[in-house]
Amino acid sequence: MTLDAHDKLLETVLQEYKILAEYERLQTEDLGGIYVTPSYENPFLWFGVIFVRTGVYKDGVFRFTITLPSRFPNDSAVPIVTFQSEVFHPLVNPNDGVLDLSEAFPKWQSGDNHIWQILKFVQAVLQNLDDHTIQSGNVANNEAYELLMENRTEFVIRAEQCVEESQQKIYEQPAQPDRFYICFDQFNPDVHGPALQSMKENKTTEVTTPPSSGLSWVRKGVYQPLSK
C-alpha cells in the first residue's frame, strides 16, 4: 500500500468513526418520537421517522432522510433533510420535500453543530409551529406560508391531509431495499401480543417471536411505535 493510499484509508476510517460518534450521541438526547438509523449501504445516508405528538401535525408519521456532505463533519455544507411524503409546511419545499435549515444552520460548524440539533429543529417546526417564528427569507413553500399567516383554517385542513397521507404510508417499504431501513409491522396479536403484555407487566423476561418480524409495530388508529 502506498503512502497516499494509506493516508486515504486512515482519513476514511476517521471520518466513519466521527459519523458513528454522531449517531451514538443521539442516545443521550431527548428526542422523543424520533427514530433515526444510518443506511447499511451508505453511512452518509440516514433514515428517519418522526411520530408527531402535538400541534397541527399531531399523529403524523413522517419519514425523512438525512444526507451528509461527502466531507462531513469537516465541511461547512449543512446536511440535507428530505421528507418522503408531502408535508405542507412553510419550511418544506413542495417539489422535493427538502426542509430549509438555514434559519438554524446557515453553515455547518464542526464541533459546535451536531445531527441531534437538526432532529430537534425538525421536532420543533412540526410540533411547535405556533411557537416558531418563520422569517420570510427562509420560506420554502409560499402557499403554506401565506395560508398560515392569512387563513389559519385552510392551513390546518391542508396539514391534516398530510397527516392522513403519512398514516396511510407507514407500512410502505423503501423503493431501494436497505437492511437498516426503519420498518413497522401491523399489530399481530400472535406475534406481538406477548411483547405487549410483557411491557404492561413491566417484565424483562425474554419473549420469543419469529426473527423476521422483530418486536416493532404500530397499532392501527394509535400511530405510536411500540418496541421491546
For the chain, give every domain's residue range. Answer: 3-190
Q: What is the pLDDT along the chain (228 residues), one digit of tens a residue?
A: 565 765 676 777 888 888 989 999 988 888 889 999 999 989 999 999 999 999 999 999 999 999 999 999 888 999 999 999 999 999 999 999 999 999 999 999 988 999 999 999 999 999 999 888 898 889 999 999 999 999 999 999 999 999 999 999 888 888 778 988 888 877 767 766 776 677 677 654 443 434 444 444 455 555 555 443
The answer, yes or no, to whether the previous bond of 73 is cis (omega within 30 of 0) is yes
What is the pLDDT, as a whole number, of residue 50? Answer: 96
Which strand (E) or helix (H) includes residue 148? helix 142-150
> Who contacts 55 (Cβ-Cβ below 8 Å, separation ≥6)?
126, 127, 128, 129, 130
Global pTM value? 0.80
CB 34 within 8 A of CB 116: no
CB 122 within 8 A of CB 99: yes
3-class SS at 36? strand
Dihedral of CA atoms 123, 128, 130, 136 in degrees, nearest 10, equals: -20
CATH number of 3-190: 3.10.110.10
